[in-house]
Structure 1
Amino acid sequence: MKRRFIRILAVGAVLAIAALLVPDSAVKSTEVELVKVNRAETVDVSPDVVWILAVGSDARPGQDMTHTRGDALQLVGMNTKTGAATAIGIPRDSWVPIPGHGSNKINAALYFGGPQALGQAVGNLVGIQPDYVFVSRFEFFEDMIGDIGGIDVKNPIAFADDFIKPKGFKKGRIHLGGYDALAFARIRHDLIRGDFDRSANQQRVLRGIQSTVSAKADKPGFIERGVFSVIQHMRTNLSPVELYRLGQAMAQVNPGKVTSCVVQGSIGTMGGASVVLPFVDQARRYGDDARKDATIKRC
């Protein structure tokens, strides 16, 4: 408990210093954007639970990553009181209403209205409006995995991709470096259930990251270097106090209290394009289950 307290203080100190030194993230290129969502929340949300929508942007060099289509969508809740955390995976091709733009694939909300619109679209589906939207470029994600020494995941089935990973990934516990972690999270064509299995793999990668960070957190300077690296590449509208709260929530996650589910659906066609017709009742059940304590009891 003492180590965790010290770790939280260290995170807070780094965030405070970074806010003074690089307030506009001008030192290096912006690879990450953390946006506070303007919420019109009518459902009571526990003050102990922080909700972040994590988004992988498929923006190409020179493109605004906050106005392209999102490739990976995970709604992550963290309970600052109990250390529990959960991830609700949203298939990117889910056909949903997008405020002000009719219906479209849910990842198009980022293109139409940026992080705010995507947060609202996901919130309308699950019933939990995120507090923050975290958007990152895939190159930064790859570098981050490399910086922490790679991650370990438990892969339930062997799969490959002729272009991204021809040799594929074997079944069982495997170690992933930066490129492999990105490939593991992005491949879908060789997976039995396509986008649904890919979303589950993204959650396995998130678990691997959290587990690695937790295992190495007590090493002198590990957390501080990581936080400062992110800050240098980040653009945000959060105050240092809010950044500290997020750092505290992340530091308190207990790997043994992490749950995750993926919103399922049927496959359909809209305008000639293949889409996922999400099971809205299931998505809302996940939201109702996790809203108060960031724990999903069953998928």
Structure 2
Amino acid sequence: MISEQRPTARPHPDEVCRPARSRRRVGSRAATLAVAGSLAAAVTLAACTGETPSPAGASSPAGGSASAGTSRSDAGLVVDGAPAPLAALVRSVYTGGDLTHTASPTAAAALKARKAAGGSLKATAKVGSWMGTPVAVVTAGEDVTLAVGPTWKVVGGWWPSLGVAKPSLGSGPRWVLAIGSDARKGQPLERTRADVLQVIGIDGKGGGGVMGMARDLWVPLSTGGKGKINSAMVLGGPRAQVKTVTNVTGLPVEGYVVLGFTGFKKIVDDEGGIPIVIPKTVVASHAKNMVIRAGPQTLTGAQALAYARERKTLPDGDFGRSRHQGEVILAAAVKAKLAGPIAIPSALTSFSKVGRSNLTAEQILTFTAGLHQLSPLKVGRGVAKGAFGWAGQQSIVILGDQARSLFAQFRDGNLS
């Protein structure tokens, strides 16, 4: 487990993804980028830098076009890029309108005592889609409003300009399971082995963590009997995988996001690669001995996949692979975080084209945006390990005290 703690010097971009010991001079802003965006990266894998046009499904049945434009309220509020119904909703937020029926219970409660904005105000909206449901992020200065369509409602955000003391991003702690499927061409994405299992948590108080699960952990499966933890998805799909992880860790995982090899490579390549610093040269034996050299570079989709999957040439095997996966996630998080919350809708749109999830639009939007509220001194990461053993002819990892201690530490959503 590594606690992401750094001094305040501003980092060089290439330095952000160095291992903990060599990153001690990296600034606190970079720590926020690398860790606070971990779930966003796990969800989008660097798909957060492009701007995607508003999807066709973003039209509101309440009327108004979903095409980007400019809407002006009577109070002088300008919302660039919002369909008319969304602009009207944002106006209601800033002019003290009744949000009882146009906001989630938690968001409505947070905004109940807000102060109405005075004078003119300019906001920018980006609209995207999560598994077919319209989503939007609207920024105005330091304020962020999260909304879900097609009948637009506010589901969360933070509004310091309106005197709202705390962000509204759901109740913490919360956990989500990021799954990398090893499905090959023609195989079902959600019924093959889980090559990547990373639990992402936030405590709702500015802290969080990323916990890798060794895929060979020998555990009770939610589908019955015992097996390697990553076999749960083969037997019962990602819901069974989530339930198995929940049962083993004691963490009430909220849901999952799952992505396959092809989707991973496509997203990385479409977004121009993942800038990263590789601590030690790796020869990926499973990828025709592809060499990923040490030092700063930008990985292509194929290189990033090879680095995240290699284990046979690593001295600590599967544990090292889980560590590499964390490094890729953190490197992608830097790219995602640099784009800010306004890029979340396009990221969710990109992921929706190639991935799968059971999280609702409200859940993913509030969780992902919540990562931007994390403190760099209150986030850590670790890998659940164990001793090696055998079950019949299978090499396995036996759940031990180290893993149980890690699970217990993560019960508040914080690994720092």
TM-score, normalisation: structure 2 = 0.56
Measured after TM superposition, the shift of residue 121 of structure 1 is 1.6
Looking at structure 1, the residues matched to 352 and 370 of structure 2 have their Cα atoms a distance apart, in angstroms, of 17
Looking at structure 2, the residues matched to 253 and 96 of structure 1 have their Cα atoms a distance apart, in angstroms, of 32
Q: 1:14 aligns with which of 128, 145, 155?
A: 128
Of 108-117 and 253-262, deviating more is: 253-262
- 1:295 paired with 2:409, answer no
Measured after TM superposition, the shift of residue 193 of structure 1 is 0.5
Looking at structure 2, the residues matched to 76 and 11 of structure 1 have their Cα atoms a distance apart, in angstroms, of 27
1:128 aligned residue: 251
- 1:108 paired with 2:231, answer yes
1:19-60, Cα deviation, whole Å (9 max, x unpaired): 159xxxxxxxxxxxxxxxxxxxxxxxx932321111111112
1:105-159, Cα deviation, whole Å (9 max, x unpaired): 1111111111122112212222213111111111111222223332233433322
Decide whether aligned partners of structure 1 residues 209 and 254 sit closer, same or farther in structure 2, where only a CA change above 3 A counts.
farther
CA contact under 8 A between 1:54 and 1:76: conserved in structure 2? Answer: yes
- 1:226 paired with 2:347, answer yes
2:405 aligned residue: 285
Q: Name the SS for the 2:253 alignment partner.
A: coil
Q: 1:210 aligns with which of 333, 350, 359?
A: 333
Decide whether aligned partners of structure 1 residues 235 and 93 sit closer, same or farther in structure 2, where only a CA change above 3 A counts.
closer
- 1:260 paired with 2:386, answer no
Looking at structure 1, the residues matched to 125 and 383 of structure 2 have their Cα atoms a distance apart, in angstroms, of 31
Looking at structure 2, the residues matched to 63 and 289 of structure 1 have their Cα atoms a distance apart, in angstroms, of 37
Q: 1:155 aligns with which of 278, 286, 308?
A: 278
CA contact under 8 A between 1:56 and 1:71: conserved in structure 2? Answer: yes
Larger radius of gyration: 2
Looking at structure 2, the residues matched to 266 and 10 of structure 1 have their Cα atoms a distance apart, in angstroms, of 52
Q: Name the SS for the 2:219 alignment partner.
A: strand
Decide whether aligned partners of structure 1 residues 165 and 63 sit closer, same or farther in structure 2, where only a CA change above 3 A counts.
closer
TM-score, normalisation: structure 1 = 0.77
1:36 aligned residue: none
Q: 2:367 aligns with which of 218, 223, 246?
A: 246
Looking at structure 2, the residues matched to 250 and 15 of structure 1 have their Cα atoms a distance apart, in angstroms, of 19
Decide whether aligned partners of structure 1 residues 85 and 148 sit closer, same or farther in structure 2, where only a CA change above 3 A counts.
farther
Looking at structure 2, the residues matched to 272 and 17 of structure 1 have their Cα atoms a distance apart, in angstroms, of 41
Q: Name the SS for the 1:131 alignment partner.
A: coil
Decide whether aligned partners of structure 1 residues 191 and 283 sit closer, same or farther in structure 2, where only a CA change above 3 A counts.
same
Q: 1:62 aligns with which of 160, 167, 186?
A: 186
Looking at structure 2, the residues matched to 16 and 237 of structure 1 have their Cα atoms a distance apart, in angstroms, of 11
CA contact under 8 A between 2:278 and 2:294: conserved in structure 1? Answer: yes
- 1:180 paired with 2:303, answer yes
Looking at structure 2, the residues matched to 246 and 108 of structure 1 have their Cα atoms a distance apart, in angstroms, of 27
Decide whether aligned partners of structure 1 residues 274 and 234 sit closer, same or farther in structure 2, where only a CA change above 3 A counts.
closer
Equivalent residue letter for 2:350: S
Decide whether aligned partners of structure 1 residues 96 and 295 sit closer, same or farther in structure 2, where only a CA change above 3 A counts.
same
Q: Name the SS for the 2:198 alignment partner.
A: strand
Equivalent residue letter for 1:65: L
CA contact under 8 A between 1:51 and 1:131: conserved in structure 2? Answer: yes
- 1:139 paired with 2:139, answer no
CA contact under 8 A between 1:210 and 1:255: conserved in structure 2? Answer: no
Decide whether aligned partners of structure 1 residues 285 and 213 sit closer, same or farther in structure 2, where only a CA change above 3 A counts.
same
1:28 aligned residue: none
Q: 1:192 aligns with which of 311, 315, 319?
A: 315
Equivalent residue letter for 2:415: I
Looking at structure 2, the residues matched to 61 and 236 of structure 1 have their Cα atoms a distance apart, in angstroms, of 20
Looking at structure 2, the residues matched to 275 and 146 of structure 1 have their Cα atoms a distance apart, in angstroms, of 34
Equivalent residue letter for 2:215: R
Looking at structure 2, the residues matched to 273 and 58 of structure 1 have their Cα atoms a distance apart, in angstroms, of 19
Equivalent residue letter for 1:247: T
Looking at structure 1, the residues matched to 245 and 315 of structure 2 have their Cα atoms a distance apart, in angstroms, of 25
Equivalent residue letter for 1:225: S
Greater relative contact order: 1 or 2 (C-alpha under 8 angstroms, separation 6 or more)? 1
- 1:169 paired with 2:292, answer yes
Q: Name the SS for the 1:291 alignment partner.
A: helix
Measured after TM superposition, the shift of residue 173 of structure 1 is 3.7
Q: What stretches of structure 1 of length at least 5 have no aligned partner? A: 1-5, 22-45
1:53 aligned residue: 177
- 1:86 paired with 2:209, answer yes
Equivalent residue letter for 1:227: L
Of 198-207 and 233-242, deviating more is: 233-242
Q: What stretches of structure 2 of length at least 5 have no aligned partner? A: 1-78, 80-122, 136-169
Looking at structure 1, the residues matched to 124 and 364 of structure 2 have their Cα atoms a distance apart, in angstroms, of 13
Looking at structure 2, the residues matched to 17 and 132 of structure 1 have their Cα atoms a distance apart, in angstroms, of 14
Q: Name the SS for the 1:276 alignment partner.
A: strand
